[in-house]
Each structure stands twice: as C-alpha cells, then as structure tokens.
Chain A
Amino acid sequence: MIIMAIVLLFLIVIASIFAPLLTVYDPIEGDSSQRFLPPNKEHLLGTDHFGRDIFARILYGARITLPVSFTALFLTAVVGVVLGIISAMNFNKPVDVVIMTLVDVLLAVPFLVVAMAVCAIFGRGLENVLIVVVAVWWAPFARYTRSLVLSLKNSQMVLSAMVLGASYPVIVFREILPNIFTSLFIYLTFEFGNLILTLSTLSFFGMGIKPPLPEWGNMISDGRSYMTQSYHMLLWPIVAIIITVLALNLLGEGLRDFSNPYDTLATEMEDVK
C-alpha cells in the first residue's frame, strides 16, 4: 500500500514539475476556435470554455494547488498541534479554557464569514488566503490533538514516565508525540482534500488565486457552470484531486501499518501470545 502511495505521489510531483515537457499547450492562452471540445487525440482531456487544454491546465494547476495547500496544511497543523498539546497538558487550567473557547468560537462562526472579514481588512492575495486558512483551520486540529493527548496523558505509560521524573517537554516529545503522530498524519491526509476545496471556494469568491491562473479549485468552479454541456470540464480536475487525496490517504494508512508497533491482529488474538 505504501509503495503504491509513494509511486502515485511521485508521479503527481514529477508531472507537475515537468509540465512543459508533457504538453505543448499553454495553460492560460486559449484558442477560441477550440472551445468545449470533448476529450480527443489532440486534447487528451478536452478543452474548456476559453478553448484551453484541460490536461495542460491540470498539470500546471498542480504547480499552484499542491504547494499552496501543502503550505496551508503544514502551517495549520503546526499551529493546531502545538496549541492542542498545550491545551491538553494544561487540562482545565485557564490556558486550556482560553484555547478551547477560541476553538468553539471558530468552529461556530462560518468559515466564509471570517474569510471575508480578513480579506476585507488585509486585502486579497495568496498570503492573506494562507492567513485566513491557518487562522480558522487550526481549530479542529487543536481539538483533535487535544483529545489524542488527553487519552494518552492518563495512560499508565505517561503516568509511569511522570513517576520516573520526566518533565513535561520530555513526556510530550518522547512518550506522546511518537504515539499520536500516525493518527495526526492520517487526519492530515483526510483534511487535505477538504483544504483544496476550501482554497477553491476562496478563489471562487475572488479571495484566493485569481483566474486565469490554472488552479484545480478554480477549474472546478468554472466547470460547474457548464456541467450539463461539457461534463469533462468538471470531471478531470475532480479526478486530479481524488487521485492526490487517495495517494495521501494510502500513504497515511500505509504509514500507520508500517509504524504500528503492535502485531496487526495482536488485539484479536491476545489470548495466544
């Protein structure tokens, strides 16, 4: 499973890096005589409403979508995990209460409202999109991390480490983080797909990456308008996202099995050691 995931991710990255070698078409300049073409020999995946080659746009789009979403994901994860751990380690103390109240507020307010407010204040642009995403999306990460840490924090393992004289940072880095890492990573891979769609929503509202730059989210929102006439405009960017997310999920699952210290079915057969 893990090999399949690595191969897939490798192909996606290679394809985006070598995009100019893989297609002769320009992702931005269209040929207005070639609009709405279904997939054919010249345009492998067809063309869109400006006559641009969809295959080219997907390849070039990966160059934008993937780095942006990875950066956003990385930043949210760092903020969320750090705050989640701080919150859990100070369970029921003021710090925890403040962080968790903030999480509740952020989860209660619709994302787009916050995003619009931030863009209204700071203006539009890629940096601001990242700020918005991180500012709102860390909340579920923090909550998830907190729950993971809390369940481990009361485990005999952590208790015994405390008894042995380990300080909090040591407990977090030696006992807790290695044991929740895979759960977090799997959660991240699941969130990745969501994040791509969120970024495209922001683009759709004119807050993110501006058209005509090829971005998978933008392509989906373009394709949406012509869904009934040319399904392929909508289909291929979705397939691209699905393949990427699938590769990441496979990676997550593979890593989980790979790094699992227990025998896969050890719990089932604990009767026989």
Chain B
Amino acid sequence: MKKNPVVKIEDLTLSYVTDKRVVNVYENFSLVISENEKIALIGQSGNGKSTLAKFLTGILPKSAVIKGGTYSLEGVDIFKKEKFLELNKVRGSKIAFIFQDATESLNPIQTIGRHFEELLGFHQICEKEEVRSLAIEKLESLLIKDAEKVYDSYPHQLSGGMCQRVCIAMCLCLDPILLIGDEPTSSLDVLSAYEVIENLRNLEGISVLLITHDISVAAKVADRILVLDKGEICEDAPTQILLAAPKHEYTKSLIDSYNEIPNVNEMGGETIEPSPILRISGVSKSYGSFRVLSDINLEVYRNEILGIIGESGCGKSTLSRCIMGVEENVAGEIFYEDVDLLKLKVRKRRKFSPEIQMIFQNSRAVLNPRRKVLDIVQEPLFYNGLYKGHREEMAMALLGDVGIDESMYYVRPTELSTGQCQRVAIARALVSKPKILICDEAVSSLDINIQLQILKLLLELKVRYNLTIIMVSHDIRVLQNYCNRIAIMKDSRILEIVDKDSLSKGLVHPYTENLLNVSCSKSLETVLQ
C-alpha cells in the first residue's frame, strides 16, 4: 500500500557559511515522510541531524545558506526560490517540534495550564473555557496520571520526563501532521525516557520524525530508520530489517558497538579482594532544607569498578563531589586509606587530589578553551607542584596512552571532537598517577561508537595503572557488565549494592529490576528477536 507523502524534500543543498569557513551539510539531500509513518533519523553528533529539523520548521540560524531544493508539505510548496513561504501558519499547527530539554522549553513562571491557554489562544483552536478540558484530555491520552494536578503545576514541580510529555501533549492539541522530536529523551533518566518513548511509540494519526543518536530509542519508536552519515542517508530500511541485517558499514558499527559493552572480567581477570581503598560512612549533605544525600554507607574495594546508578537528582553527582572534596558542610566520614578526607582543611585535602581524580560528562566544557592540549594535560602536575622538569614528557606519555597523537599537542580544545576532548580529559586526570578515578557520566553524552572506545580505553588504563574506578551513570546498560559491583541510588539513599552475579540472576530489589526491564538494551534485543 502506498501512503501519501506528508513531507517531501528534494535536492536540498545546505551549508553553513561564516567569515572563517564554509561547512557543507547537505548536498542534493532528499527525504520523503509518509502519512502516519514513524521515522527515526540516527547518526553521529555533528553530522547535521538537527539542521534537518531546523530546516523543516524554518528556524535555521542566519549562517545557514540554502543553495537549492524544494520542500513541500502535503503537496503544497513551502520552500520556493530559496525562501520560506507562510511558515508561521505551518509551524505548530502542521509541524510540531519538541526539543531536547523540555524543562528549558517551558516558561518557569507560568503553570502548565497557562502554556496551554497561550498556545491554544494563539492558534485559535478553542474558546478559553474549553482549554482545560481539551488539555486534560490530551494529557490523559498520554497516560499521564493526575492530569488535573499536572495542569495546575509549575514546570519545576514536574520531572524532566513529565515536562517532555507535557510538551508532546501541547503539540498534539494543535493536531499537527508531523511531530519532530530532536533528541527528546537524551537528557532524561532511564525511567522517564521509557515513558516518553512509550508515548511517542503509541501516537496515532500523526507522522513522527525522531532525531536521535541512540539506536535503541530509534528501534523502539520507529517503523523505519534512516542512517545519516556525512550528510547522506546511507541506509534506509524498516526497523526490523535494518537491525537484523544492516548493510552499510556505518550501521553495522553502530549496532556492534551497541551490543558490545566491554566486560570487566575479560580484561582485568583478577578477582577483587574486599579490602576497601575508600570507605564512606554516614555521609549526609543538604542544600538548605533539601536533603541531597542521607546516610550514605559505601565501601570501594581496591582495583574494582564500582558503578553508581540512579535517576537524575538522586544525589549521585553530589556524592562524587563530596568524595572529591569540593562540597562544603558534609556530615559523616570518608576514609581514603586511613585518612578521613572530610576532616581535613582545604589545604591539606588538596594534597590528596593527585590520588583521587575525576572526569566529567561534558569534557568540552571542562577544558579551558584558551589553553593548548599539552598544557591542559600538565595542569594537575603544575597545580600540585609535582614532577618539575618532567611534566611535558609525562603529559606526552599519557596522551600517547589515550591515543592523542603529536599533531594535536598544540591544538585548542574547541578544535577537537567530543571524543578527543574526553580522551584529553582522561589523560589529564591520570597524569598525576591517581589511585581512584571517578567517572561522572563520563560516557553518557558520547556517540555510541565513541562511548565504546572510551569504555575500552578506561579498562585498558585501569589494568595498566592499577586504578580503582567509580562509574557514576544513569545508564544501566553500560554498567551492567562493565562493573564489578553496582550501587543503586534512589531519593538520596543507596538502595542496595549488587554484584554482577546477583544482577544476572535477578536477586535484586524491585526498583532495580524495573530499571533493568525498561533499560533500552533489552528492547533492542527484543526488537531483534
């Protein structure tokens, strides 16, 4: 059965032009989205996925230059002679858009209800008295419990996932024919992402274009997956077929890296003695009256990889910051070997920083944009007055270890790719020869194949430098096999600490089981079966 095309783009040629350089994004790019079709566009970050979404809604930045092409919506030309026609009428009412961070797309000083009123008023969908009932009907159609309560809430009172679902409901009110989601689940934790994904999957009577770097999300939502590589669609196939028998090299590598999370036992081999290198007992921390950590007890064994998992806001990042000594007024004890780090004065605590190091999620934001790679890696040695005279050699050695070659020594971080930035950050953390490395969501924002590279690299380095690694993440798929033990955090507490055996046998707390079930890794397997 041939369905009517809703969106038709033909021969689109688009590039970004600045006074310094020209970047060609698309050349003769064509795309057809049919009625009621759910399409996912996947590909690495930085290859122009979002540009397509911006083109479709006509919100391209000024530096984007369109050299040619046509774009029609329901057979009507929207883009002709390099100009958009009457986009305002189309935007919202025909094409709806949801952004990555829904909490930021909502106005914090207005209730959800006000958002609906404004939206429906602007598009003159219904009378003011009817807004509430219509909104609640839409919210309930997305299986949101307490829709009435949500309607009267402010965005900050809702979770990120709920905000995203509210955004979807708002889009649906206008009865659009196409819903574009630009990484709608990337900033959500597993459980809320699951709900959003479910919502998107169950939408009816609307075409969906889902833009994502996560193949598992794409697999769950879409009927058809387009793989975008270097501005070209290199593979276009129904989801089942694409996953089962990928044809293009790039697709293959994506699926392989997704399935192949390195296993700690295969690399290290050694068994972990339960001799704690770090002992956390009774640690609590509040911001004002808000409790972030309450009574955390945790032992980290020498040479193990310990995972800490939890929803966003459960306090896992605060815990790692407490260990690093950058939080003030922390109650409890954190013993590193025989020293209570929390009792030390700032100056003395600093002496331990070479031994406990940390890498962050967004390494691009972490590296000083004004310094060169080789300088950046030497920073910890400089700060702590270590290895005078040998700093450069040590930095070079570590850069070699993480796979950054000489040509990049004098480059600034803005010119590096995200993966390279993370490698530089790892080199910087390891240059002072730490015993413990804390990775705070260190691979979460990376593309799946780069994620795999970094995970492998960390394992190699762990063996070479006898590291103890604490992996903080919201992604159980990564931690499942990668860690010797996993601590599950919920609502500022540690719910349980499980090792790999009990995790695979299912001897876990119901919450953990839930996490495992909704985790996208399973869904990819189920789709494959």
Are both chains from one complex? yes
Using CB atoms and an 8 Å cutoff, list the residues of chain A in contact with chain B.
Answer: 155-157, 159-167, 170, 174-175, 178-179, 261-266, 268-269, 271-273
In the bound complex, do residue A163 and residue B324 qualify as a contact, i.e. CB atoms below 8 Å apart? yes
Q: Given contacts A165-B350, A179-B370, is CB(A268)–CB(B383) below 8 Å?
A: no
**How far, in angstroms, from A28 to B360 measured CA to CA in the complex?**
66
A163's partner among B51, B351, B357 (CB-CB below 8 A) is B357
Instruction: Evaluate contact between B365 and A178: CB separation under 8 angstroms.
Output: no
Residue of B nearest to A160 (CB): B366
CB of B360 within 8 A of CB of A263, answer: no
* Residues B16 and A265 in contact, CB atoms below 8 Å apart: yes
Q: Considering the complex, which residues of chain B in the window 14-36 have a beta carbon less than 8 Å from any beta carbon of chain A?
A: 16, 18-21, 23, 25
Which 5 pairs, one residue from A and one from B, show the smallest C-beta to C-beta distance? Answer: A165-B353, A273-B46, A268-B61, A261-B369, A166-B383
Residues of B near A160 (CB, < 8 A) are 358, 360, 366, 425
B:46-72 near A, CB below 8 Å = 46-51, 54, 61-64
Residues of B within 8 A of A271 (CB): 25, 46, 48-51, 54
Q: Can you list, as one digit per residue, whether each of B393-430 has a CB less than 8 Å from chain A (1) or not (0)?
A: 00000000000000000001010010000000100110
Known: A163-B326, A268-B61, A273-B417. Is A157-B365 also a contact (CB below 8 A)?
Answer: yes
Q: A264 CA to B61 CA in the complex, in Å?
A: 13
| 25 A–B contacts, CB within 8 A, in A order | A155-B365, A156-B365, A156-B366, A157-B365, A157-B366, A159-B321, A159-B366, A160-B360, A162-B324, A163-B324, A163-B326, A164-B357, A164-B379, A164-B384, A165-B351, A166-B379, A167-B383, A170-B383, A261-B369, A261-B414, A265-B16, A271-B46, A271-B49, A271-B51, A272-B47
How many Å lie between the Cα of A222 and that of B246 in the bound state? Answer: 83
Which chain A residues lie closer than 8 Å to B414 at the CB level? Answer: 261-263, 266
A25 vs B174: C-alpha distance in the bound complex, in angstroms?
Answer: 76
Give bound CA distance, A239 to B425, whole Å: 52
- A174 to B25 CA separation, bound complex (whole angstroms): 37
B307 within 8 A of A: no
B326 and A264 form a contact (CB under 8 A)? no
Q: Which residue of A lies closest to B375 (CB)?
A: A174
Collect the chain A residues with CB atoms within 8 Å of residue B321's CB. Answer: 159
CB closest chain-B residue, reference A181: B370
A170 to B385, CA, bound (A): 12
User: Whole-angstrom distance between the alpha carbons of A164 and B426 in the complex?
Assistant: 12
Contacts of A175 in B (CB 8 A): 368
Given contacts A163-B326, A165-B384, A272-B23, contact A156 B360 (CB under 8 A): yes
Known: A159-B366, A269-B16. 18 other contacts (CB 8 A): A155-B365, A157-B365, A157-B367, A160-B358, A162-B324, A163-B326, A164-B384, A165-B351, A165-B383, A175-B368, A178-B370, A179-B368, A264-B20, A268-B61, A268-B62, A269-B61, A271-B51, A272-B46
> Which of A156, A165, A167 has the most chain B CB within a 10 Å cutoff?
A165
Q: A156-B366, A271-B46, A273-B417 are in contact. Are A263 and B20 (CB under 8 A)?
A: yes
Please tell me if the beta carbons of B16 and A272 are within 8 angstroms of each other in the complex.
yes
Q: In the docked arrangement, what's the CA distance between A266 and B326, Å?
A: 31
The complex places the Cα of A162 from the Cα of B353 at a distance, in Å, of: 9
Our pick among B16, B19, B380, B412 for the contact of A164 (Cβ within 8 Å) is: B380
List residues of chain B with CB under 8 Å of any chain A CB: 16, 18-21, 23, 25, 45-51, 54, 61-64, 321, 324, 326, 347, 350-351, 353-354, 357-358, 360, 362, 365-370, 379-380, 383-384, 412, 414, 417, 425, 428-429, 432
Are A272 and B48 neighbours in the complex by a CB distance under 8 Å?
yes
| Closest beta carbon of chain B to A260's beta carbon, Å | 9
Known A-B contacts A162-B326, A165-B383, A271-B51; the reply to A265 vs B350 at CB < 8 A is no
Q: How far apart sit A269 and B61, CA to CA, in the bound complex (Å)?
A: 8
CA distance A262 to B425 in the complex (A): 19
CB closest residue in chain A, given B15: A272
Are B47 and A163 in contact, CB atoms less than 8 angstroms apart?
no
In the assembled complex, the CB of B424 is this many whole angstroms from the nearest CB of chain A, namely 12
* A265 lies within 8 A of B61 (CB): yes
User: Given the complex of chains A and B, what is the CA–CA distance between A175 and B20 in angstroms?
Assistant: 27
Q: How many Å from the CB of A271 to the closest CB on chain B?
A: 4
Instruction: Kindly report which residue of chain A lies nearest to residue B385, judged by CB atoms.
Output: A165
Whether B18 and A163, one on each chain, are in contact in the complex, defined by CB atoms closer than 8 angstroms, is no
Instruction: Point out the residues of chain B lying under 8 angstroms from A159, CB to CB.
Output: 321, 326, 360, 366
In the complex, what residues of A have CB within 8 A of residue B369's CB?
A: 179, 261-262
Expressed in whole angstroms, the minimum distance between the Cβ of B344 and any Cβ of chain A is 13
* Cα-based distance from A160 to B369 in the complex (angstroms): 13
Once the chains are docked, how many angstroms separate the CA of A269 from the CA of B425?
24
Given A268-B62, A272-B25; A156-B16 close (CB under 8 Å): no
- Residue in B closest to A174 when the chains form the complex, CB atoms: B368
Give A260's nearest chain B residue, CB to CB: B369
A172 to chain B: closest CB distance in Å? 13
Report Cα–Cα, A259/B63, bound state, in Å: 21
Checking B45, B63, B367 against A265 with a beta-carbon cut-off of 8 angstroms, the contacting residue is B63
Residues of A within 8 A of B347 (CB): 167
Pairwise interchain contact B354-A269, C-beta atoms closer than 8 A:
no
In the bound complex, what is the Cα–Cα distance between A268 and B62 (angstroms)? 8
Q: How far is the CA of A261 from the CA of B413 in the complex (A)?
A: 9
Task: Give Cα distance in the complex from A166 to B48, angstroms.
Answer: 38
| B365 → chain A closest CB, angstroms | 4
Please, which residue of chain B has its CB at the minimum distance from the CB of A268? B61
Using Cβ atoms and an 8 Å threshold, which residues of chain B touch A163? 324, 326, 353, 357-358
**Alpha-carbon distance A122/B429, docked complex (angstroms):** 57
Determine the distance from Cα of A265 to Cα of B16 in the docked complex, in whole angstroms.
9
Cα–Cα, bound, A58→B485 (Å): 78
What A residues does B48 contact at CB under 8 A? Answer: 271-272
Within 8 Å CB of A268, what residues of B?
A: 16, 61-63
- Distance in angstroms between the alpha carbons of A160 and B426 in the assembled complex: 12
Decide: A164 and B61 in contact? CB cutoff 8 A. no
- Shortest B445–chain A CB gap in Å is 12
User: Which of A164, A265, A273 has the most chain B CB atoms closer than 10 A to its own CB?
Assistant: A164
Expressed in whole angstroms, the minimum distance between the Cβ of A131 and any Cβ of chain B is 36
B362 adjacent to A156 (CB under 8 Å): yes
Taking CB atoms, residues of chain A closer than 8 Å to B362 are 156
A28 to B122: give the CA distance in the assembly, Å.
67
Residue of A155, A156, A261, A265 near B18 (CB, 8 A) is A265
Distance between Cα atoms of A271 and B362 in the complex (Å): 16
A262→B368 CA distance, assembly (Å): 11
Known: A175-B368, A271-B49, A272-B16. A161 touches B379 (CB 8 A): yes
Residues of B within 8 A of A264 (CB): 18-20
A261 adjacent to B358 (CB under 8 Å): no
Contacts of A166 in B (CB 8 A): 379, 383
Closest to A257 in B: B19
